[in-house]
Every structure is written in C-alpha cells, then in structure tokens.
Amino acid sequence: MTKPYNRLDLDQAVVLLVDHQAGLMSLVRDFDPDRFKNNVLAVADLAAYFKLPTILTTSFEDGPNGPIMPELKAKFPDAPFIARPGQINAWDNPDFVAAVKATGRKQLIIAGVVTEVCVAFVALSAIAEGYEVFAVTDASGTFNPVVRDGAWNRMSAAGVQLVNWFAVACELHRDWRRDVEGLATLLGDHIPDYRNLMTSYGAVRGAIPQAAPGA
C-alpha cells in the first residue's frame, strides 16, 4: 500500500548521530573513507544550519569501538551526548530515549555506523513506538554493499524512509527563496561539483570579478 508523502518538517525533525566512532568508522567499506566522512559532516552541517535538535551517542567507547569523531563533538558542544556503557541498540539505553523524547519531535533523521545494527536497530525500535524515521543512506556505512542493501530492505519494509543528506537538506529547505546563499554554501561545502556550479553562477551574475581581456 502506498503511503502519503509526509515531508520532513523543520519543527518536527531531530537528528540522531549514532556511533560514528573511530573504530567503527574503520569498518566502513561500502563508501570511500573520505567521501563517507564528508557525508557525515554534511549531515552535521545541515543540522546546525537548520538549527535542528541533535543528539550524539556512542557505544562502549573504552573498547574497540573507540571515541566519537572529534568534529561532531566540536560542532555540537552543548548537544546531548549519550555514551552508552554497553547497549548495542541505542534505543535500549533509557538516557538516549529520554533525550529523544525531550525534544518533543516525531521525525527522526538517523545516521550511524554500522548500518544494519546501529542505524537499523534504532530505526526499527523508533518505528515501533510511532516515530517517523528517515535513515540517511550516505552517512551510514557498513562492511559491503550486500550487507548495506539487506539493511536498507529491512528498514524500508518496516516503514523507514531512505534518503541521502542532499535530499534531507532540500526537503527541509523547501524553497530557494528562503536563503539562497545559505543553502548554496551548505551544498557547495560538501559537493565540489556544486561549488563549481555556484562559482559559475556567481561569475555570470557579476559576483566574481572577471579578468580583463588579455589579462
């Protein structure tokens, strides 16, 4: 059965960044490491740009999973940070669930490592409790495409919506006239080709000085 299109809402969305930890990040093989890190930071930047409540969590930091990406802690120094002592599914940690519920929001934008565990377990648990869940596919990574596709299928079958970070940003923004420069900067910071597009646009519009003929 086809479900109606219920768009991401700036007043209802919260971002959950789950287990982007040094040890776990080293397991990601379905994305190029630099590209994957860029995508994670893009989610962080869009959360900050749109002023969305953001919750960070890690699992067993003292073990092989390692510490959280330092860029995330630096980006959100005042955000709730739930260092789970052992729960694999973050939704099994009462402090994490309490932090989500404290936002009063019902749309969860989730990214994490690894996709079939850290993302899927939270997404499926939240769906079961009546939340709308949007899993950010390109900021969630795992061992290989076969494992990833299986996780995506499992989540999608349960009602989780699969989106990439670019779609999240555009769906939240809704209208270019809201802030052309702000959205263009966000996109250009993480997509080199988009930065080239905006540079070309700026040149045509006269925003970028042109070299004199023969210079």
pLDDT tens digits, 108-118: 999 999 999 99
pLDDT, tens digit (0-9, with 9 covering 90-100), for 158-181: 999 999 999 999 999 999 999 988
- Identify the DSSP state of 184: H
Is 170 among the residues known to form the active site? no
**H-helix segments, 15-138:** 22-25, 33-49, 70-75, 94-102, 120-128
What is the model's pLDDT at position 207?
54
Q: Check 99, 118, 160, 186 and give the catalytic one.
A: 118
Q: Is the peptide bond before 43 cis (omega within 30 degrees of 0)?
A: no
Residue 197, pLDDT > 80, answer: no
The predicted model scores a pTM of 0.92
Strand, coil or helix: 8: coil
* C-beta separation of 96 from 18 below 8 A: no
Q: Domains, the chain, ranges and CATH?
A: 13-174 (3.40.50.850), 175-206 (no CATH)
* C-beta separation of 183 from 173 below 8 A: yes
Q: Stretch 144-150: mean pLDDT, rounded?
A: 98
Mean pLDDT of the chain: 93
DSSP state string for 112-172: EBSIIIIIHHHHHHHHHTT-EEEEEGGG-B-S-HHHHHHHHHHHHHHTPEEE-HHHHHHHH
First vs last C-alpha separation in the chain: 63
